[in-house]
Amino acid sequence: MSVTNMKKLTAYSVLLCCSLLPEEVRANDDIDVSGFGSLIGGFVLDGDGYWARQPYAAGQYESGFEFKTESRLGIQARYFLTDRTRITGQLMMRGIHDFKPKLEWLYVSHDLTNDLSLHVGQMRLPVYHFSDFMDVGIAYPWLRVPSDAYSLAVTNFQGAGFQYNHHFDDIWVSVKGYGGQQDTDPNELITTISQYQKSQRYNDDGNFVGVEGIRRVKNYRDMKGLVLEVGYEWLSVRYSFLDHQEQFLRFEEGEYPSNSQSSGRWYDIHFKDFSVKVDTEKWFAIYEWNEYDGIYESWMTSVAYRVGKFTPYVYYTAFEEPNSRDIAPGGISAGFEDPDTGTLDVKYNTLAFGSRYDINPRLALKVEYTIFTDKGDSAVFIDKDQDGITDSKGLFVGLDFTF
């Protein structure tokens, strides 16, 4: 049996076991099964299309009402081997993958003390403020996590880590340390970015007909990360740092897997993220900034206000990659070269207005109006006039739930 088929069999088996467990077993104190999901749909009001640049290349909207691209369902199961040792598995079904189940998390945890725990296996890479809850829409006010500032092309890793949590009177401290590796073949986010930046296809009438079958592979090794978060009442400050090596492989259409256009060299890379969050009974506000070792810089800020069951919000995000590897469909000769740096860049921002309505503690309805502004040289998504500008406006609705 191939590795791919084995993974599929494992994922289906876990899903089947969770769904068929009798009520008395699911109620067993040793087993904890829970779930979450989001049904998200929307359409483009202005522009050739909109892409939220979510992990796994989710968030693509072209024409008509699109439902699948961001919708997802997750099932998490924990089995307590002892009072201090447990196994956690998380199965995800994503619309971008035609809702095929995939086992994304599987790790063992052991509590050394009430404050300190160890974890070994495959788990979420905790680089962002909302990394652990990116898929759990009911955990945040927005329809989606502001993706311009959540653009790292790897979300999980295989390795080990520790977590320390402690309260000092009114002050609480959380420290995470971890190390490991992860291979992504293909890297769906980077592959899709490259496809729209450099290999869009149009027919003789100028209609978009798709992208070339290029492939981007990214491998990560020697990952060493640290997260420090400090909170006091309604205020929390968080800093994360990731040091690692990356290998980037470029395959043009028809060249995978034997003819990479890149050297396969490993590069030392650093990633850092800083956030400040205010969360009171009525107000929610956050600022988050990150930098990917000179490759790109992004940030986001948001304010929300709770009024009964309603939580209206606004957020603004910005992303800038000064030296893009790929070019817009028109090429440099069409005037896309940056006059200041002499290189191509990717630069855009998003302004969004929305509201959340809590139907009950486990069910929330959200609506969002998004304005995407493309200020860079390389196309971000579908670019019918092939000028490198992909501005758009969209309206989206979502239903988040837990069970």
Contact 190, 295 (CB under 8 A): no
Quick check: 365 pLDDT over 50? Answer: yes
Locate 337 and state its tokens: 């070269």
- What one-letter code names the amino acid at 216? R
75-89, 183-197, 204-218: the lowest-pLDDT one:
204-218
Quick check: 2 pLDDT over 60? Answer: no
Which helix (H) or strand (E) segment holds residue 165: the answer is strand 156-168
What pLDDT sits at residue 330? 44
Locate 231 and state its tokens: 């909170």
Locate 312 and state its tokens: 């209206």
Q: Sorting pLDDT into bands at 50, 70 and 90, what band is 323?
A: confident
How does DSSP assign 114-136, residue by residue?
SSEEEEEEEEE---STTGGGTT-
Q: How far is CA 161 from CA 120, 167, 223, in A?
A: 7, 21, 11
CA 87, CA 77: separation in Å to the nearest integer? 8
Average pLDDT over residues 321-331: 58
Express each pLDDT in 245-259 by its tens digit.
999 999 999 999 888
- What one-letter code names the amino acid at 46? D
Locate 23 and state its tokens: 């009520």
Q: What's the start-to-end Cα distance of the chain, in Å?
A: 34
Angle at 340 (CA atoms; ends 338, 346), nearest 5 degrees: 40
Average pLDDT over residues 280-287: 98
What pLDDT sits at residue 378? 80
Express each pLDDT in 74-124 by its tens digit.
999 999 999 999 999 999 999 999 999 999 999 999 999 999 999 999 999
Residue bearing the bigger pLDDT, 338 or 55: 55
What pLDDT sits at residue 338? 46
CA 317, CA 146: separation in Å to the nearest integer? 7
What pLDDT sits at residue 233? 96
